[in-house]
A and B are shown apart, each in its own frame.
Chain A
Amino acid sequence: MHLVVTGISHKTAPLELRERLALPCDEAARFGRRLLDAGPAAEAVVLTTCNRTEVYLFADDTLAAGRLAVERLAALAGVDPAELRAAAYQKSGDDAIAHLFRVAASLDSLVVGEAQIVAQLKDAYRAACGEGCTSTVFNKLFRHALEVGKRVRSETAIGERPVSVSSVAVDLARQVLGKLERRVVLVLGAGETSELTVRHLQAHGAGAVVVVNRTLAKAEELAARCHGRAVCLDELDAQLVAADIVISSTGSRDFVVDRARFAEIMRRRRRRPVFVIDIAVPRDFEPAVGRLEGCYLYDIDDLQGVVAANRDQRERQVAQAERIVAEELARMNEWLASLEVVPTIAQLRSAIDGIREAELERMAGPLGTLSPAQRAQVEQLTTSIVNKILHLPTVRMKELAAERDVSVYVDALRRLFDLDEVAPVPARDGDAAAGAAGAALPRTASADCALPTPAADAAPPAPPAPFVSPAQAS
């Protein structure tokens, strides 16, 4: 069984296609459920955000599973399958795991370091759990991915500084004015960036919004959208006196406010600090206004300078984040390898033990004359021989579990001892192998999906109880 991911993202598909595939979280999970019911895959998680729609599958035949996922996705969205196939990428094995970790670390995002993806991934995983689409491997994999996301954010500065003009403006306002609660925001001229900035300010608790515009109708429109109040241009001076934050973006060819006018306003304010962002081109505020005491004036270049610096700073963190992803990929592979080893050792042990019991059974006649105490001694002797023989291979296999080519040894053991053909990893619906290893492995259950899991699952699963030999136990 292997991991495969297929889907589209902002890197491979245009917006028109992405919007059609953008499913709500619960619908995406139901889509995953239907995929599992269709057969080729054992576990499925469907992640949809505005920038990506991707299906993670755990399947024997990754190609077929991926192909089916794309076809179903196309059918669901009413898109031509050929068109979707052209835009879709498909990765399997290590590449798929690395991809998931990079997504979780927001290295694959449109804006590197953006914070939402971890929550979106968590939602997708939760929804898949709710539909019973995850089991041992995906429970481990997705929790691990969320941990990777957290680790990258806490160990690198990738998501620390804002990279949009409006959020830089908010940060700057807070740097000057402290908390923004009950701060009065004055919007001069009605532009898109102004509106965005107002929304950001409001999200940080800013109070009343006043919109001033040459045409009152436009001001009223924006005011209605921002729950503010529109005022006509004549009142500008009074509003400048009252405001704490001014966002200016008029289409005026000349300065709307010059130094002399604003000096008078500052006097009337008793030099109470005011934060002004002038995002208009050409500018609305005479630059000299910024030299007045208590007035902090920034134009679009100042803000974009910060944005550019912050973007650079994020880019510099990418290499470190990639290192974390590589490290975590190695850890995940260790776990997957140990998963392969565990059932094989269990089968080996039960096969050998089977031989021991069969031989004892065969000698039942001659042994029948023994007293119960002697009989017990024979049992003990034979068991001990089996344990001694199996001890070294068991230890070695566990050591090898960390190596990349462990499957060679697993395969050799299977052939040499003619172990039954059993899937190395328990499948979702719990076949025989799942029974063998199941004692120690988390099974699909809603309780299993409980997030977060501090340190749980951190170590590879312990071997099931039956083959802990006395020698190992000591």
Chain B
Amino acid sequence: MQRRWLLTVLAAGSVVAAACSTGGTGGGAPSASGSGGTSKGEIIIASDLPVSGADASDGIPTQNGVQFAIESTGSIKGFKLTWKGFDDTVNGAHDPQKGAQNVQQMLSDPKILGMVGPFNSNVAAAEIPVGNKGSLAMVSPSNTNNCLTQDTFGGKPCTDPNPKNIRPSGVNNYFRIAAPDSFQGPAMADYAYDTLKLTKVAVWSDNEIFGKGVADTFQAEFIKKGGQVVVRQDFDTKVTNDWKPFLTDAKSKGAQGVYAGATSGTKACIPNAQMAGIISGSYMTPDGGVNSQCIKDSGSNSADLYGTVAGANAELNPDAKATIDAFKAKFTKKDDIGSYTFMAYDCAKILIDAIGRAIDANGGNMPSRQQVVAALAKTSNLKLTTGTYTFDKNGDPTTPTMSIYHVQGTDWAFIKQFGVGGS
């Protein structure tokens, strides 16, 4: 009795699941009308970011970028383009399980052809397999964990995550535009040793995937250059408020500067304020700290603050000025713009571009998800606000750009940018 019931459930469920996962191909008139019309139906680009609780300080400015890109585009080749935001936090913290559920939910809506996100690398590790099974195009503005896309990291094979293991279908559906960790830490290490002339530094990280990754690569490069890392600590920043013992330790060992492998959401620059009276020296952060929050957190000690951004400076790009001005007209508060806002904007634009080409490839009809992924992989020389993007076979940008910033007065000032290609 029971078994028959279960079989019926199974049958009904599987049929629908199968129907959903192949996506809503077909439908719509074959002739392509002007790009301004919205007669052919609706295409949705989703985002999956942590937008509530403590993580919201990262997630909301990033989501603003996606929302702005999609709403300002409006339509594509006769399809209406809309944005749908998902939140991967539960109880105020990013949750891989919630992320995986969100992707599963996106798969069940045939109108969703791609997503921007996720923000956190551990959410990505749970989402990629789900999205991969349904061929959902994913573009992340901020994931920098090397092993999400590459087989090796720092000369060692990536055992976990390993790109092959988390892509069960064998076809890559996950792309990102941030330069992986392997570039960002070393870029700052080189700058610290060569330009700032530091020889002894203290390094701490927030013990998260991103923070620990950049701190490790910074440390390795700095030592390779001939410098000395006098203290290395990893903190649980949720419960740590007091960095003074660490800074005192660093001072007693002669540190001339401090590198923080952390983001503003994990107190990247709060230790900088506490440095006052203990160490007078440079304070360096990766891109999660290059924002107004960091300057605020540094209090009166923001003068000697340096940061890297794993992307080009959108404000440097003359072509991007109109976009930035339009964004600022819509999102008026300073907190609305974060270091990933325009990275996320570009991710959405990359998806829109790929969907456009997929529509063409499908004769002006609603493309399938596989077609979008295929078009996305062929993205090449797309000029956007933070750089010109081409994806390599792993889904990484071929010529990631790295910029270095320095605080002057009350704001971040750009110092230089350089390509770090050749992954």
A, B co-complexed = no
**A residues lining the B interface (CB < 8 Å):** none
